[in-house]
Amino acid sequence: MGDAIYFRSDRNGEFNIYSYDTKTKAIKQLTTHADYPVMDLSTGDGKIIYEQAGYLHILDPKKGKPQKTDHRRGGRSDRNAQPLRQGLAIHPRRGVIASAARAALEFRGEIVTVPAEKGDARNLTNTPAVHERSPIWSPDGKQIAYFSDESGEYELHVRAQDGKGEVKKYKLTGAGFYDDPAWSPDSQKISFADNSWSLYWIDLKTGVSKKIGSEALYGPSRARTIQHAWSPDSKWIAYTLNSKAYIQTVYAYSIETDKSQAITDGLSEVSEPVFDESGKYLYFFSSTDAGPVKDWFAMSNADMRATRNIYLAVLRKELPSPLAKESDEEKGAPAKEEKPKEAAKPADSFRIDFDGMNQRILSLPIPAGNYSNLQAGPAGQFFLPRGPAVARSGRTWSGWRRRAAIFAPLVRPEQAQG
């Protein structure tokens, strides 16, 4: 701005605003905040606006003294802002139930719920000496589950969403540092991952947990490797694991048989499987150019880019393709006497027919791109954010921001639009 460059620096202990004069080369400290860091600088009308301690401040470089405004930004200035933002994503797995009357979030090691409009924030745990994390709201809206190290090792805790009553505590048998919990639709089971890159599920009625699978190969980010989602009937879990060739495959695990079977063939990189609400389809991302990019330790792939497409697997063999073209036909005059129609047969319960599955996987008519965070909506619909082209399997070293979100109803190819 003008002849000066303004920037943040913690060279004196806390992040403050400094200026660099491009003519004299002089550096000058303009703010002296000592409690919380300065964040998010922006300029306009010859002034600088920034966030500090949850408030917006305006700095006029000519006057030199910042003015604190009355506008708050909900704790963004705290160093624990990242977990707070993650806890407010609009998805049952990430803290918000369907009614969205309240949101559950993790903040400074506490589990807090906040109202959308009326009421006060509610600290459910209030345990300064204990670290709680990864809250999820049950689909029926009655309970909140989270991980707590109250015992010295992380365990699963489940309590009423209003904070009343006793906390149910479940000792887990994995490698610790659990995360990414997901409720089953019937609010009776939870799947989760551990520090050994293994996937588990636990029956909340019996407290018995079982291991589903483990990663054989490690990389820089487990979150993008073991991804899991429950079927509408709460009896199956779709998840991803890498093959020995370091290519992810989608599997379906049966709660009843304690066995897994592959959905995809391992010839393309697949990720983020989610079931359609109808139980007819399984959505997932697939990439045919991710192989070289996945070798995260190699500098040779620094300029390579990976793209994804959205695919759909028809789970039952008698179901028609949802992308089949339709054709209007002349039906002729109706018969004079028609027999009464038979009563409709009850819908089949959820099931997966693995025989011939590779012939029932379809590429949806959406252009390839940098998609992530695939989420199922109402039956026949799904949502996916789209970001800019990036390297290293969808992630740059400095991170990325979502640029657009796509709402994709399941329609015929000629009707599909981005």
* Mean of pLDDT over the chain: 83
Q: Can you say whether residue 404 is alpha, beta or left, with left for phi > 0 and alpha for psi between -120 and 50 degrees?
A: beta
80-177 and 215-321+350-418 have identical folds = no
Strands (E), 163-257: 168-170, 179-183, 189-193, 198-203, 209-214, 228-230, 236-242, 248-254
- Token couple for 287: 């990439």
CA triplet 260, 266, 270: central angle to 5 degrees?
90
Identify which has the larger pLDDT, 93 or 371. Answer: 371
Closest CA to 23 of 7, 8, 4: 4
178/151 Cα distance (integer angstroms): 14
| pLDDT value for 9 | 93
Mean local confidence (pLDDT), 135-149: 94
Contact 277, 378 (CB under 8 A): yes
Q: Indicate the domain borders of the chain.
A: 4-72, 80-177, 215-321+350-418
**pLDDT at residue 305, as a whole number:** 83
Q: CB–CB of 312/281 below 8 Å?
A: yes
Q: What percent of the chain has pLDDT over 70?
A: 81
**Residue 38 vs residues 18, 44, 65, 71: alpha-carbon distances, Å:** 11, 17, 14, 15
Top CATH class of 80-177 equals mainly beta
**Alpha-carbon gap, residue 105 to 83, rounded angstroms:** 8
Going from the C-alpha of 57 to that of each of 10, 35, 84, the distances in angstroms are: 18, 15, 22
What is the predicted pLDDT for the residue at 401?
A: 34
Residue 240 pairs with which residues in a beta bridge? 250
Q: What architecture (CATH level 2) is domain 215-321+350-418?
A: 7 Propeller (2.130)
pLDDT at 234 over 90: yes
pLDDT at 64 over 90: no
What does the alpha-carbon distance between residue 379 and residue 372 come to, in Å, rounded to a whole number? 20
Q: Report, as an integer, the average pLDDT of 228-253.
A: 94
Give residue 408's pLDDT band: very low, low, confident or very high (50, 70, 90). Answer: low
pLDDT band for position 71 (cuts 50, 70, 90): low
pLDDT greater at residue 221 or residue 176: 176
Is it the case that residue 333 has pLDDT exceeding 70? yes
Q: What's the average model confidence in pLDDT over 178-199?
A: 95
pLDDT of the residue at 344? 45
Q: For 46-56, how does the pLDDT look when each residue is reduced to its tens digit (9 = 90+)?
A: 899 999 988 88
Residue with tokens 């599997």: 251
Q: How much is the pLDDT for 329? A: 83
Residues whose CB falls within 8 Å of the CB of residue 400, separated by 6 or more in sequence, listed in order: 370, 387, 388, 390
Q: Minimum mean pLDDT among 251-255, 283-287, 372-376: which range?
A: 372-376
Indicate the range of 130-134, 288-292, 317-321, 405-409 predicted with least confidence.
Answer: 405-409
Contact 136, 104 (CB under 8 A): yes
416 pLDDT tier (thresholds 50, 70, 90): very low
Q: Is the dihedral of CA 312, 367, 286, 187 positive or negative?
A: negative
Which is nearest to 195 in space by CA: 171, 160, 223? 223
Rounded mean pLDDT, 48-69: 88
Select the highest-mean-pLDDT range: 56-65, 70-79, 300-309, 406-415.
56-65
Residue 40 banded pLDDT, cuts 50, 70, 90: confident
pLDDT in tens, 76-126: 434 433 433 344 433 344 344 446 788 899 988 999 998 888 889 899 999
Q: What is the mean pLDDT of residues 308-312?
A: 94
Output the pLDDT for position 237.
Answer: 98
Indicate the pLDDT class of residue 221, thresholds 50, 70 and 90: low
What pLDDT is recorded for position 87? Answer: 43
pLDDT at 312 over 90: yes
Band (pLDDT 50/70/90 cuts) for residue 413 is very low
pLDDT of residue 403: 36
Q: Which of 15-19, 100-104, 221-225 has the highest mean pLDDT?
A: 15-19
